[in-house]
Amino acid sequence: MSGNEYKSNGVGLMKIQKNILIAVVAVLVLVILAVSAVSVFSENKEEKTVIHVAYIPVVQSLPLFVAVEQGMFASEGLNVVIDRIESPNQLIDALVAGKIDAGAPSVASGITAIVDAKNPDTLRIYSLTCGTESVLNDELLVAKDSNISSIAQLKGKTLAHIPGVQFQVMAKKVLAENGVNPTDVTLVELAVPNQLTSLASGAVDAVLTLEPTATLGEFKGVSKLLVANPMVKYVADPWCGGAGVITTSFMKEHPAEAKAFIKVMERAIKQVDSNAATSEYLVSYLKLPSEVAKTTPTPIMVMSKDVDASMLNAY
């Protein structure tokens, strides 16, 4: 082998080594970029926290429907998943167990207070849903052809109410205030979707409920109003039996998302208060005829930070 040939082969070897080095560096760069991309993706995924929110199928949940349908959560970069729950007790249990992070303004405020008393700093009320003498919130219904014309006549009868301890206690209070011993009335827990059919069939004699049950019952010709706002008349005026609730654990773990969520709910509540057209969302979420949705009354809904007795009395 000549010196020139050796020199030529040496240069070729150096080129090969250089190319291998470049290739290795390129691979390392690609790996680093790939790892960075995965890292960024993971961080973005973590930032997009899923907020689980539940609601009871009553008109008090309307602000949640408005927030979803009008893209309010999306505009704040929130990923909200909503679930329907039939019983106020089940909703509270889900909140306490951490299965959901918040509830629409239809959470039972009384049960929330009980939970807070037993387990301080577990739940936080961000809004209240109320009724007054002039703003309909709750009703006592009987069948359209019923001859019951007063609460006193419920003695010996069956009274259904929305499931949960709050409505059970309120039912007993309303009866007692009208001279009826609660033990003389059969109290039955009945989910909202089953109330009108049970009333029409005679399975129950009366129902203590929330809107839109009364409006829907009148539209279908199966029920009539026995007493409007029994809670206001016989318990408290104003009666704020509903609440928007968020868990304190979610607020501590995801403070930015919690703040944004409450901000959205405030916007939605104001929208419901100022725009009657928002009732259209009751058609899809509560399966109401359009005519019923348009005429269903909405209660007073205010942010807890803004609650003032004189303001409520102004409605």
- Domain boundaries defined on the chain: 50-133+239-313, 138-228
- Residue 306 is predicted with a pLDDT of 85
Domain spanning 138-228, CATH class:
alpha beta
309 pLDDT tier (thresholds 50, 70, 90) = low
Identical fold, 50-133+239-313 and 138-228: yes
**The two three-digit tokens of residue 60, written as one number:** 């008090």
Q: Answer whether residue 40 shows pLDDT above 50.
A: no
The predicted model gives 240-265 an average pLDDT of 97
Lowest mean pLDDT among 173-177, 219-223, 303-307: 303-307
**The two three-digit tokens of residue 208, written as one number:** 């203590």
Q: Answer whether residue 24 shows pLDDT above 50.
A: no
Question: Cα separation of 182 and 180, whole Å?
Answer: 6
Q: Which of residues 97 and 25 earns the better pLDDT score?
A: 97
Question: Cα separation of 119 and 269, whole Å?
Answer: 28
Q: Say if residues 54 and 83 touch (Cβ distance below 8 Å).
A: yes
For 209, the enclosing helix (H) or strand (E) is: strand 206-210
5 pLDDT tier (thresholds 50, 70, 90) = very low
Q: What percent of the chain has pLDDT over 70?
A: 83
Characterise 100 by phi-psi region: left (phi > 0), alpha (psi -120 to 50), beta (else).
beta
**What's the pLDDT tens digit per position in 60-83?**
999 999 999 999 999 999 999 999
The predicted model gives 233-250 an average pLDDT of 96
What CATH code would you report for 50-133+239-313?
Answer: 3.40.190.10
Closest Cα to residue 82, out of 53, 51, 50, 49?
53
Q: Coil, strand, or helix at residue 138?
A: strand
Question: Cα separation of 172 and 277, whole Å?
Answer: 36
- Residue 13 is predicted with a pLDDT of 39
Question: Cα separation of 299 and 63, whole Å?
Answer: 11
